[in-house]
Homo-oligomer: A and B are copies of this chain.
Amino acid sequence: MKVGIIGLGSMGGGAARACVAAGLVTQGHDIAEAAMRAFAAEGGQAAATPGALAAQCDAVAVYVLNADQTEAALFDSGAAAAARPGTVFLLCATMPPARATAIAERLVGMGHLALDAPVSGGAAKARAGALTIMASGSEAAFARASVMLDAMAAQVFRLGPEPGMASRMKIVNQHLAGIHIAAAAEALTQAIALGMDPAQVIEVIADCAGTSWMFENRGPHIAQGDYTPLSAVEIWLKDLAIVVDIATEVGLDPVLARAALARFRAAAEAGFGREDDAAVAKVYARAAGLALPGVA
């Protein structure tokens, strides 16, 4: 079993290393040379192009930013054309369900298998092979992808036979996660403004009903003033926009998602788009003339 990963960023790079750690021959490709060199230094094989990678692999996971990049990586680059028939492609980027469906259909039309397979868990869990993967697709796609899924995930939810079903679940996850990051930033900024120690706030609230996965994960970034981008502000411009679009289609007004999106947009406009998404706290702090830990 030979596996490949296109996109060696914080999630894909982590997942690729988890595949190596699981004993799989793992090829990796990234548009950034440095990411490929780093991967090769840790037991992976660098592939010069997506096509070269796909031609040699039984299962290929695509860890890029969105649907457009997924199409570019698979079709414009020649990866899908170069792959042997029956190769399974895992679509791991967050995208509108309809796009996942369309990409999967195009792959199937080329004689391949496709799994809609967005992930959750963050960079640390990606590297540990402990992601949660929401997956939907044919039995054949699941069967062919199972070794790779096991290497990357602690938990795989099988959400049905049709690509798109898993992406729909991922959108619900992003809906909540995006609001929770902005809420964590808002509440921690307020706590700091009240003279509280953010590290103590995180410790206490983690044990209370106000906690969230994002509060516990991103809160420490704010408390420590570390905005190294594991997941960047600009990702939420994309993902919350998908949430709002889908809500509008079904006649709902997602007021909290819209409010969170506006905060991330303000953060991007203030120049924090490439920083860790916890930098949305800086928008609150600036408006209040408040100094955050570690922020000049």
Contacts and interface: CB of A to CB of B under 8 A. Distances in A.
A68 to B, nearest CB: 22
Interface string A190-202: 1101101000110
A132 B207 contact: yes
A176 interface: yes
A266 to B, nearest CB: 10
Interface stretch (A77-85, A179-187, A220-228): A179-187
Interface in A149-207: 155, 157, 159, 168-169, 172-177, 179-180, 182-184, 186-191, 193-194, 196, 200-201, 203-205, 207
A109 interface: no
A255 B185 CA distance: 11
Contacts of A214: 209-210, 212
B252 A288 contact: yes
A289 interface: yes
A32 interface: no
B256 A209 contact: no
Copies of this chain, tallied across the complex: 2
A173 to B, nearest CB: 4
A259 interface: yes
Instruction: Name the interface size band of chain A.
Output: 35 or more
Given A207-B155, A209-B213, A189 B252 contact: yes
A34 interface: no
B287 A253 contact: yes
A211 B209 contact: no
A214 B132 CA distance: 20
Contacts of A175: 183, 186-187, 190, 210
Given A204-B157, A259-B256, A121 B250 contact: no
A260 interface: yes
A272 interface: no
Contacts of A168: 191, 194, 196
Contact of A256 (B183, B200, B204): B183
Interface string A3-47: 000000000000000000000000000000000000000000000
Interface of A: 120-122, 132, 134, 155, 157, 159, 168-169, 172-177, 179-180, 182-184, 186-191, 193-194, 196, 200-201, 203-205, 207-215, 217, 243, 246-247, 250-257, 259-260, 262-263, 284, 287-290
10 shortest interchain CB distances as A-B pairs: A176-B210, A212-B212, A173-B210, A120-B208, A193-B250, A177-B210, A251-B288, A175-B187, A179-B183, A259-B259
